[in-house]
Amino acid sequence: MVASGRTIIEEIKSRIDIVEVIGSFVELRRTGSRFKALCPFHQEKTPSFIVFPERQTYHCFGCGKSGDVISFLMETQNLSFREAVEQLAQKAGVRFEPEKPKEKSPQSEIDSLYEINKLAARLFNHLLMNSKAAEHARDYLKDRGLSPATWEEWMLGYAPDSWDVTSKFLQKRGFSEDLIFKAGLTVERTGGGYYDRFRDRLMFPIKDKDGRFVGFGGRAIGEGIPKYMNTPETPIFTKGEHIYGIDVAKSAIKESNLVVVVEGYVDVITAHQYGFRNVVATLGTAITPSHVKLLSKMAANICLALDADTAGQAAALRGWEVLRDSIRRRSIPIRSKGRVISSDSKLEVLVKIATLPKGEDPDTLIRKDPSEWARIIEGAKTVIDHFFEIVERGYDLKTPQGKTQAIADLAPVIGDLGNPIERAHYESRLAKLVGVDENEIHLHVVQARKQSSRPGGGEAAPINLNSVSQEEMVLALLIRYPRLLGNLPEDFINDMENSPNKEILEKMQTLGHEKLTPESLLESVDESLRQHVERLVALASTQPELFSNEQLLELNKKINLIRRQRLRDLLHQHSLLLKEAMEQGDEESVRSLLQLVPTLASELRQYDPPASPYFKDSRSEIV
């Protein structure tokens, strides 16, 4: 049998007997329904290590170590989580296919590629500022209204009309022909050797969000074809993942909580030169999910600034389809009487569209009238109002085909509205526009919401709270509010019994609150834990919006529930062991347990005071 994700862990545990596994390492002795042994984790003379077959767990009453069969192997055999799972999978007869490592270039090579691009950018900038051969490039920039100070700020450059100037410059600095080729700066000749990729072009260095040089955009100055040329895909550059100007704009984006997306390099540079510092551009592509993922982390508002022509409107439609499929959604939990949570949802990022006057692009408009640009961005319309305008202007709403198309295009956009009153308003507006009954429009919107309720499409599977452990609730809360990691008690992991949950918490703590996101957590965990993490992420999306003080109260409440249950279990187990020891006449165990039981009972009372005769105690309820 092949198993994967959380399924493999459940399958292994169902086939493995913890008593058999632990019994192969230590000598177990049955005492009633349990098994006792000298603890493998600390030195002792009297056995205090107990295995509980009915729960498939163990606990040492001497040192406090506890866990399941996976954590036992990890602790005693010094194995990683994955190694322990693989070993148990083999024993259980469950086929566990090894995770294929991602092919990556060595870090030293990656660093060299960044350095190559950085040196090439300095060469191109030096030539633009000083070379006679770059006169026509400087004239072009002056004609576009860009100052020499701006050329320097953006490290604009000029690639000479030569087959080998760039490559020779880099080779003299110790870089091999092969590495320069891998950086995308040369092209391989058919008969062997290499020649410079960028020749007689105005060069726009492309940096990642951290300011590292990853590639170039080159614009032909004369009659060169193609007009624009980018670095090909390399180990550090993928066209659909990078955003021009993000390194310069990120501070202004975060400060204004708004990012304005335009189409061209010069559009971005002109905007910044005139003080509009939150403007960026895609690299000649439609907006992609990678772009959305990056931008939505920086701002809650995205404005697409588009030309008024047909191509610009088409770009708006394509851009919105990508945005609505890629933007994280905030789920609003809905409880049923059966304690099942389903969820409504809304997009967490507000998208607006700014349409420029006919014949204008951002560069020309800003140079002509900066205040007009500011007014247009300020007055950008919501996506839904923009698309209503497109439908009203461009669809033949007198025909059944035109009405059908209008409903098909607008129903998903209406469905993405998180406020039901807003949805009702626009459903009514669409019904009047196409002359169709409001109930019919409402049905189309409901269907559209079902299809788009998750980034992958389809309605999210309900989560039954009765199947969710308190450990999982804590992990979900940490995913929803990563800053709570700093409020987690240092010894909390010792209160957890589930090995996968422990492993996930350790990954969270390694990432830290600044880097912890659903995506980073999924990337950091082993393949065998991915489905479990995906379930936790889905659970996290159902967590309600809480103020910071409420978040901490909720965390402490769940931790107390876990500790209270653990102490109750320990007290119950100790009481049973005490009863068995008394029946067997084991005086030494009786003395030891008689000391421990009152201590546990006292500690439990801290978390479990007597119920009030006046108020209902709801603390044990699952929230």
In sequence order, the β-bridge partners of residue 67 are: 58
**Amino acid residing at 102:** K
Q: Are 117 and 41 in contact (CB under 8 A)?
A: no
Q: What angle do CA 489, 494, 496 make, to 5 degrees?
A: 100
CATH 3.60.15.10 applies to domain 5-92: no
What is the mean pLDDT of the segment spanning 572-583?
Answer: 78
What is the mean pLDDT of the segment spanning 157-168?
Answer: 96
pLDDT of residue 2 exceeding 50, the answer is no
The pLDDT value recorded for residue 335 is: 40
Half-sphere exposure of 182 (CA within 13 A, CB side): 17
Q: Express each pLDDT in 215-232 by its tens digit.
A: 999 999 877 678 889 999
Q: Express each pLDDT in 439-498 by its tens digit.
A: 889 888 888 776 655 444 434 445 555 567 888 999 999 998 899 998 998 888 888 888
> For residue 30, what are its two tokens?
């049955």
Q: Where are the alpha helices (DSSP H) in 382-469?
A: 383-394, 400-415, 420-434, 438-451
Q: Express each pLDDT in 26-36 by its tens digit.
A: 999 887 778 88
Residue 307's pLDDT band, with cuts at 50, 70 and 90, is low
User: Domains of the chain: which residue ranges?
Assistant: 5-92, 111-230, 243-385, 468-607
pTM: 0.55
Tell which CATH architecture fits domain 468-607. Orthogonal Bundle (1.10)
CATH 2.60.15.10 applies to domain 111-230: no
Q: Tell the residue number behind the tokens 């450059």, with chain if given.
A: 157
Coil, strand or helix at 18: helix
User: Quick one: which of 234, 166, 157, 228 has its CA closest to 197?
Assistant: 166
Q: Express each pLDDT in 309-353 by its tens digit.
A: 544 554 555 555 555 555 554 444 444 444 333 344 455 678 888
User: Quick one: which of 363, 339, 204 has its CA closest to 268?
Assistant: 363
Q: Are 471 and 67 in contact (CB under 8 A)?
A: no
Contacts of range 436-445, beta carbons closer than 8 Å, 24 or more positions apart: 436/403, 436/407, 441/407, 441/411, 444/407, 444/408, 444/411, 445/411, 445/414, 445/415
Tell which CATH architecture fits domain 243-385. 3-Layer(aba) Sandwich (3.40)
